[in-house]
Each structure stands twice: as C-alpha cells, then as structure tokens.
Amino acid sequence: MSRHTPLVQQLIDALRILPGVGPKSAQRMAFSLLERNREGGLQLGAALSAAMNKVGHCQQCRTFCETALCHICTDPSRALDGIICVVGSAADQMAIEQTGQFKGRYFVLQGYLSPLDGIGPQDLGLDKLAGLLSAEGVNELILATNPTVEGDATAFYIAELCHKHQVKVSRIAQGIPVGGELEFVDGTTLSHAFSGRKAF
Amino acid sequence: MSRHTPLVQQLIDALRILPGVGPKSAQRMAFSLLERNREGGLQLGAALSAAMNKVGHCQQCRTFCETALCHICTDPSRALDGIICVVGSAADQMAIEQTGQFKGRYFVLQGYLSPLDGIGPQDLGLDKLAGLLSAEGVNELILATNPTVEGDATAFYIAELCHKHQVKVSRIAQGIPVGGELEFVDGTTLSHAFSGRKAF
Ligand SMILES: [Zn+2]
Ligand SMILES: [Zn+2]
C-alpha cells in the first residue's frame, strides 16, 4: 500500500534514467529537492530542457556543441601540428583534455562499430573522417579507442582509412596503468605490456 | 583548457545539486542523456518542473501531496484505531509504509527542532499536531523520530504536547538491528538494547 502521489512518482521514475540511479537513490533525490531545494530542481529542469533541445554535434569533430563548430575546431593553434586524435566519446575526449598534453584536434566517434546493434561507419561519421583525411594539413591520426572488441574493430577500420589516404596512423599504448600493481593487473593487459615492451 | 560548451556545463552544474552526485558522475549523467536518451532527459526536465511547482503538503499530515489531503488522510480505515505515527520525513514514512505493519495515520514533521538553524515548533507544524491531539478519536501517538540529538529533542517536545492533551504517547524501540551482529553495533545502541531488555 506504500505509494507516492502521481507527480512524485513521475519524478522518481524519470530520475531513474540517470546512470547509476536505482529506486532508492531516485526517491532520495526527489525528496531532497522537494524538501530543501525547489529552486535548484527548477533550474535542473530548465537546464535539461535547454541541453536536450539545443546541444548538437560539432560539424567537424562531432563532439557535443551548441554551435556549428566547437572551441577546439575553431582554434587555429590546435591545427598546427596536423594531428587528429580519434576517441569513442566526449567523456574520453574530456579525460585526454584534462591531461593537458595533447595539443591537436579530435574526432569523436560517439560510439563504436557494432553490426549486431546496427551501428555502421555512417553512424560514427567515418565518411566525414575520410573527408578530413583527404584534406590538406593532416599528418597523423592517433587512435585512442577503447581496448575492447568493438573499440579494436573500429580502430582497424579507421587504420584502413588512413592507409588508403596515406596518413600516418598510431595507437595509444596499452600496458599496465602507471601506479598500478602488477599482481592486480589482468592477464590480457599484462600480455600487451610484455609484447609492447621498450628498450630501457 | 578542458571545458564544456555553456549548455553542457550548465547541465553538469545543475545535476550536482542531486545528493551523492559529484563532478564525475554529473558529467557521466549529462553525456549519457545527450548520447542516448534525449527523450528521457526532456521527460525528466518536465517531471522536475511539475513536481517542484505543484507538489505541496497534505493539510492534515504534512506529507508531500499535490492535493489538499493525501491518500492516507482521506482513507477512513486508517483512522479506525486512532493512532498517529510521527516521523521526521516523507522518506521515513515510506519506509514504515513498506513494512505494511502500521495501519494508522501519520504526521510528517519535515525536519526536526533545531534552534541553531532557526527551526522551531511552528516550522514543523506542531501547532497543527496539537490541533489533531485535541480532536476526537486520537488514542495514541507513536514517536518514530530519528535516534539523534535533534530527533530526541523533538520527541520530548511532542511527548509534552501529548501529556498536555492527555493522549497516550509511545516511542518505537531502540536496540540492535534484526540480523545485525553484536560486535559491529555501536556502544550507545548496545546500552539502549540492554536497558530496553524484555522478559523472554
Ligand atoms: Zn569540433
Ligand atoms: Zn495526509
């Protein structure tokens, strides 16, 4: 017989679309807003509507963006070295940007090739990437796709594109995480670390 | 130099008002909605606006409710035994409802007395509770406030109200949690469990 009023139940149900939010935390979130932060709840509602309706993709690199081109694609200094880093998601792009080490441009796939899910080259904008590769000033493409089956398949496909357009292609190193303890690293990673060993 | 576009940043900032959501999970939530569930994001936005604007409090028991009286206060069967259970929050009320054991009515304080935070009896609707106590048909009030300093202070205040209105007042038992292991129970709880021991 325990039940919420319709509007509270709708809010709890809607909160559960958020990743990592189960029924318990959805209820806690709903009550927290209703009890002490209705203003914040309204702001979140408005921010959601605005972002869902207005955030699109950069026409060049496909990252999330509400203008035609993102701030990286419009920054001439990021095109100087002619390097494009291919990532699977905007979150991966943010992680790389936060290192502050990479000064080139990106191409954000927003997914990986997955024939079973009906995700083909067109869905990842690989025709657009091919266009970039055939343009002037692209010297190297760095693959920073996930080390998963789908990430690997996508990396192989893009490497082929690079060969066809005679653009140098590389892939970020796989190995044991810096600061990681060997005994806790999985076998596949350890094998990769051995086969990828460098003179010391 | 890592930064989001304004609308994405606003969404991430707004998501951080949710309890338990830090910068990392706020970004994951924002990207998850933008990548694969814009429809759900819009629904969540609408559900937030509707709930924040339209959910008020039951005029009798103060629980969250978008009508004048909640479904428990309008159910005559819940008034039969004349018992009112006082809880600190709607979440506590839901937890008790989910046991399915309590068949009476509630009074939801929506907080506890806290002079330092400027929360007095009026803010918890205790004048309204006094009105209920002086009405016909109330035989017992059960205190199910948190076993904290503020919960205890509030319980004492309400017990006084009951004495004044000559209504029987009781408090839910404090002791070791069922299924809990003695060695992991804190000392205060253990003391309460001893002083509250029953013939076996
Ligand atoms: Zn771009
Ligand atoms: Zn009510």
- Contacts of residue B14, Cβ cutoff 8 Å, sequence gap at least 6: A40, A43, A44, A46, A47, A48
Whether B6-54 shares its CATH topology with B57-171 is answered no
Helices marked H in chain A — which ranges?
Answer: 6-15, 23-36, 38-54, 90-99, 126-134, 149-164, 187-195
Question: Which residues in chain B are contacts of A54 at CB distance < 8 A?
Answer: 7
Tokens standing for residue A35? 């009890």
Q: Domain B6-54's class?
A: mainly alpha
Is residue A77 within 8 A of residue A54, CB to CB? The reply is: no
What angle, 0 to 180 degrees and rounded to 10, lies between the N-to-C axes of helices B6-15 and A38-54? Answer: 150
pLDDT at B193 over 80: no
The span from the CA of A191 to the CA of B56, in Å, is: 60
Q: What is the distance in A from the centroid of ligand 1 to the CA of A79?
A: 11
Domain parsing of chain B, residue ranges:
6-54, 57-171
Inter-chain residue contact B89 with A31, CB threshold 8 Å: yes
Tokens standing for residue A30? 């709903």
Cα–Cα nearest to A52, from B4, B8, B26, B24: B8
Provide the terminal-to-terminal Cα distance of chain B, rounded to the nearest Å.
Answer: 69
Cα–Cα nearest to A8, from B93, B143, B188, B195: B93
ipTM entry: 0.86
Q: What is the pLDDT of residue B160?
A: 95
Q: What is the β-pairing status of strands B168-171 and A83-87?
A: unpaired
pLDDT at B190 over 70: yes
**Least confident stretch, B69-73, B94-98, B183-187:** B183-187
Q: What is the pLDDT of residue A185?
A: 77
Q: What is the pLDDT of residue A134?
A: 92
Q: What is the pLDDT of residue A1?
A: 44
Shortest CA gap A165–chain B (Å) = 30
pLDDT at B2 over 70: no
Q: Which CATH number fits domain B57-171: 3.40.1360.10, 3.40.50.10210, 1.10.10.10, 3.40.30.10?
A: 3.40.1360.10
Is residue A18 within 8 A of residue B35, CB to CB? The reply is: no
Nearest CA in chain B to A5: B65
pLDDT at B197 over 80: no
Tokens standing for residue B2? 């890592």
Average pLDDT (B99-122) is 93
The span from the CA of A174 to the CA of B146, in Å, is: 52
Average confidence (pLDDT) per 10 residues, chain A, 200 residues: 86 97 96 96 98 97 97 96 94 89 94 94 96 91 90 94 94 81 79 75
Q: What is the pLDDT of residue B1?
A: 44
Mutate: best of A1, A3, A5, partner B, most B CBs <10 A:
A5
Shortest CA gap A155–chain B (Å) = 20
CB atoms within 10 A of CB A195: 9
User: Does B102 touch chain A if contact means CB atoms closer than 8 Å?
Assistant: no
Residue A165 phi, psi (nearest 5): -95, 10
Quote the mean pLDDT of chain A.
92
Task: Indicate the SS3 state at residue B65.
Answer: strand
Shortest CA gap B79–chain A (Å) = 15
Q: How confident is the model at residue B139 (pLDDT cuts 50, 70, 90)?
A: very high
pLDDT at B196 over 80: no
Question: B199: exposed, middle or buried (C-beta count within 10 Å: 0-12, 13-18, 19+)?
Answer: exposed
Inter-chain residue contact B34 with A64, CB threshold 8 Å: yes
Q: What is the pLDDT of residue A2?
A: 63
Q: What is the pLDDT of residue B181?
A: 78
pLDDT at B180 over 90: no
Average pLDDT (B104-132) is 95
Residue owning tokens 């694969």:
B36
